[in-house]
Structure 1
Amino acid sequence: MRLAAKSEGKAFSSPDEWFDALPEPLNYVVGGNTTCVRILGSSGVELVVDLGTGARVLGEDLVRGTFGQGKGEASVFFTHTHWDHIHGIPFFKPLYIPGNKFTFYSPLEDLPERLKYQQEPRFFPIHFDHFGSERNFHRLQKGEILEIGGVKIEWLSLKHPGGSIAYKFTENGKSFIFATDAEYNGEDFPLIQEQKPFFKGAELLVLDAQYTLDESFQKFDWGHTSYTMAVNCASSWEVKKLALTHHEPAYSDEILAIILDDARTHAENLGAKDLSIVLAREGMKFELV
């Protein structure tokens, strides 16, 4: 009934146009795969952040192109090695194809051992060392800045149990920052200001916003941020678009839509009327031009 009411009296040229005209949250599904983000540079360079369960979907897409021919090359940046950020690796098809080349980036000295451990025979039938592709590891050093295919990459340590990393990708003066698994709370205002040079003016910031404000008090020091604080951070850092991510698994899409509405209202109350806020969703695409 809700769908029919929204379309009454309107003419649509296609079902897709009708679907796109529906109000949030009726025109999307947030999705349930865990973290895997693809960044495609203007030169065609392939960059990836994390290989959670979303890596299976990405892999299916990549093998339709050069990765399916054993001619693909990508750089993979790991935020950390909690399971939801690495357990898509065994199901990432491009890793199995000889000729493909991957470089894994992280400040963790023991990243190779961590990734190999989850593919011991007691956990998975194919060991990490038996992938057909070429795999190299690059340990990031403090203050190290990379440039790959014309994209500048910077990184920043975040507050999270066991540690986590934010990555900043800049090309042609436009920056995308991915900062999941990070905790910012009421005690962190000095830290928020200290980190402002890294985040300031980003075109797009994807930031941890797992909790409501009340939940963040109950789960203090659990390593995640409330959507209220995420908006505070984005406003302070003068970013242009904020995508709320690392959604609470217990929340339905309807609850997440309410959170999005509350986050936008909070931004208005802060006077951050130029800040655009969206929910990060599976399959979402952004173009920074």
Structure 2
Amino acid sequence: MNANRTIICKTKIAAFAISRIRTIEVISGPSLSWYPEERGGINSKSQILSDKESSFLRIEEVVVQLFGVRGSIAAPLRNQEYKKKILEALSLYQESGKGQSPEQFWKSLPYHVKFVTGSDTTCIKLTDHQGNLYIIDMGTGIRNVGDELIQDYLKSPGPRTVHIFVTHTHWDHIQGLPFFKPIYFPDFTLKFYSPYSDLQARLERQQNPEFFPVTFSSVACQKEFKYFSPGDVLRFGSGIEVKCYPLRHPGGSFAYRFVTAEGKTFIFATDAEFTGQDMEIIHDSMDFFQGADLLILDAQYTLDESFSKFDWGHTSYTMAVNCATSWNVKNLVLTHHEPTYTDQKIHEIFEAAVDHKDLLGAKNLKIHLAREGLRFHL
């Protein structure tokens, strides 16, 4: 009887998931070099992918897409900030927008008016040239990844495998998992990778019936857990190799380094604290971070705020630029944005980061601002 109830429950959950699917329009950010206010630009080794690409389709290059870029807690755009954006856009239209097409006028708007940074917590999707899917972290951004995957699945049903890497298990990095629709479909196999030998138990605790109506052990997908530690190398059939590296953060956190078959390197390092006192640590990290084509790095605070939040486990944009410069990184993406910061303040931080890069004379470093929907080619 209990087994039958479990099957019925899973069937209802899958049906509910299908009924709740909505059309997701992921806005792929234009090349930052297209707009004068978006300083830094994307070089020839890091381009934007068109919106027409979808998961599980064969593509020619490795694609990194940002689905969640906020730190600590999801931060939806509030009415007051939304109103401010609208009023600023209308004011600019009155000043100089008349006679332009809507598209031309939109392109002329300042970055913080034209775009929203996004509200979701950390989630990164990487698709290799064979269409294999890798996800880093399961913040609230993973919900939209799941919607996209189920839309694709319903068009062409069949077994799917998703590789999920976990930096750490603070809430803002795992809280989206119960809303990731593929976990309710038996055709999906989720393979979890992390340096945490008890990761499965941690995820099960999150979905204890006291906190969520569906337990993690009862969901319909297939689950596998792979433990690996710093020094190990994971090798995938597409030629992707992955290593991890410990970061300073309360409770611990790990960076992941992906190297493609063509030798391009992408590193994701969030919830990491680097300060001005850490030059030895930064130097010791050289082998892991050296020469990355694309580094997405925690830059949650201004420099002043980082002084008042010492040991909170996050980095200022100033130190993020210092690190990227020391490690000879080609493209730095500032992420894990403070949830209390408005889009305007976040863009001001980006501008200040570019100024700091220029003061350091780091001519080969390009700086980008993480926002939901942004995609990079490797």
- Output the TM-score relative to the length of structure 1: 0.94
Partner of 2:10: none
1:39 lines up with 2:121 in the alignment: no
- How far did residue 20 of structure 1 move? 3.4
In the superposition, relative to structure 1, how do residues 212 and 67 fare at CA in structure 2: closer, same or farther (>3 Å)?
farther
In the superposition, relative to structure 1, how do residues 273 and 123 fare at CA in structure 2: closer, same or farther (>3 Å)?
same
Do 2:204 and 2:217's aligned partners in 1 also have CA atoms closer than 8 Å? yes
1:151 to 216, 240, 251: 240
Gaps of 5+ in 1: none
2:109 to 16, 22, 34: 22
1:108 to 189, 196, 200: 196
- How far did residue 6 of structure 1 move? 5.2
- How far did residue 284 of structure 1 move? 1.2
The two structures, once aligned, show a CA RMSD in angstroms of 1.5
In the superposition, relative to structure 1, how do residues 3 and 178 fare at CA in structure 2: closer, same or farther (>3 Å)?
farther
Count of aligned pairs between the two proteins: 285
In the superposition, relative to structure 1, how do residues 225 and 67 fare at CA in structure 2: closer, same or farther (>3 Å)?
farther
Partner of 2:162: 74
Do 2:350 and 2:368's aligned partners in 1 also have CA atoms closer than 8 Å? yes
1:163 to 231, 252, 264: 252
Q: Which runs of 4+ in 1 moved over 2 A?
A: 3-9, 15-23, 66-70
1:62 to 123, 133, 149: 149
SS of residue in 2 equivalent to 1:249? coil
2:173 to 85, 107, 121: 85
- How far did residue 200 of structure 1 move? 1.2
Measured in 2, the distance between the counterparts of 1:27 and 1:238 equals 31
SS of residue in 2 equivalent to 1:25? helix
Measured in 2, the distance between the counterparts of 1:3 and 1:224 equals 39
Do 1:228 and 1:263's aligned partners in 2 also have CA atoms closer than 8 Å? yes
Do 1:67 and 1:100's aligned partners in 2 also have CA atoms closer than 8 Å? no
> What do residues 182-221 of structure 1 show as CA deviations (whole Å, max 9, x unaligned)?
0000111011011111111111111000111111111111
Q: Which amino acid in the other structure matches residue 276 of structure 2? A: G
- How far did residue 275 of structure 1 move? 1.4
Do 1:242 and 1:278's aligned partners in 2 also have CA atoms closer than 8 Å? yes
Do 1:6 and 1:22's aligned partners in 2 also have CA atoms closer than 8 Å? no
Percentage of pairs with the same residue: 48
SS of residue in 2 equivalent to 1:64? helix
SS of residue in 1 equivalent to 2:113? coil
In the superposition, relative to structure 1, how do residues 5 and 275 fare at CA in structure 2: closer, same or farther (>3 Å)?
farther
Do 1:156 and 1:165's aligned partners in 2 also have CA atoms closer than 8 Å? yes
Higher RCO structure (Cα 8 Å, ≥6 apart): 2
Measured in 1, the distance between the counterparts of 2:194 and 2:167 equals 7
Counterparts of residues 130-279 of structure 1 (less than 5 Å): 130-148=218-236, 149-171=238-260, 172-279=262-369
Measured in 2, the distance between the counterparts of 1:6 and 1:41 equals 44
Gaps of 5+ in 2: 1-90
Q: Which amino acid in the other structure matches residue 257 of structure 2? A: K
Do 1:67 and 1:97's aligned partners in 2 also have CA atoms closer than 8 Å? no
- How far did residue 16 of structure 1 move? 4.4
Q: Which amino acid in the other structure matches residue 333 of structure 2? A: A
Q: Which amino acid in the other structure matches residue 126 of structure 2? A: I
Question: Radius of gyration: which is bigger?
Answer: 2
Q: Which amino acid in the other structure matches residue 150 of structure 2? A: V
Q: Pick which of 15-24 and 130-139 moved more.
A: 15-24
- How far did residue 170 of structure 1 move? 1.3
- How far did residue 82 of structure 1 move? 0.1
- Output the TM-score relative to the length of structure 2: 0.73
